[in-house]
Amino acid sequence: MITIVIWLHLAATLYLLGLICCIQVVHYPLMNRVDGDRFVEFHHQHGVRISVVVVAPMVIELVSAAVLAVWVPDGVEPALPTVGLVLVVAIWLSTFAIQVPFHRQLAAGFDEAAHRRLVRSNWLRTIAWLARGVLAVLIAIRFTAN
């Protein structure tokens, strides 16, 4: 059972790391290139479509991180899954306390200040997911080496 959790955790985390890097480097910076008349619909479609690809992996990551923090796999230092879980919680808090409010502002129409703050603040999640990716790989390596 724990083996399945480790591989689901690794897959979800690395998937989300790739996704957030693409969002941060490509998608969010290009939002200001969408014509004003089309921005509201573009932003609405972004919200609908991103939910399809992000919600399930985020839930899998959260649940698997919690399981690994509670039932630490053999060969894995307890600090690794604990720090990983703290980072998942930080990502969720950042998402709902910081990025979602900027998206709400942008849903009414393009706002340069909200866009700039969204791009800047999203580096928090990008860096946190990068750290999570490293931790998830380390957990998998330590477990399989045991």
Mean pLDDT (the chain) is 97
User: Which tens digits make up the pLDDT trace of 61-70?
Assistant: 999 999 999 9
* Dist. CA 30–CA 110, nearest whole Å: 12
User: Which tens digits make up the pLDDT trace of 22-48?
Assistant: 999 999 999 999 998 999 999 999 999
* Dist. CA 99–CA 121, nearest whole Å: 7
**What is the pLDDT at residue 36?**
87
Mean pLDDT, range 4-26, rounded to an integer: 98
User: Which tens digits make up the pLDDT trace of 78-113?
Assistant: 999 999 999 999 999 999 999 999 999 999 999 999
* Dist. CA 52–CA 99, nearest whole Å: 17
Helix (H, G, I), strand (E, B) or coil at 35: coil
Could you tell me the pLDDT band of residue 122, with boundaries at 50, 70 and 90?
A: very high
**What is the pLDDT at residue 92?**
98
In the chain, count H helices and then E strands.
6, 0
**What is the pLDDT at residue 6?**
98
**What is the pLDDT at residue 146?**
84
* Dist. CA 41–CA 17, nearest whole Å: 27
Counting residues of the chain whose pLDDT is more than 70, the rounded percentage is 100
Residue 133 has pLDDT above 90, yes or no: yes
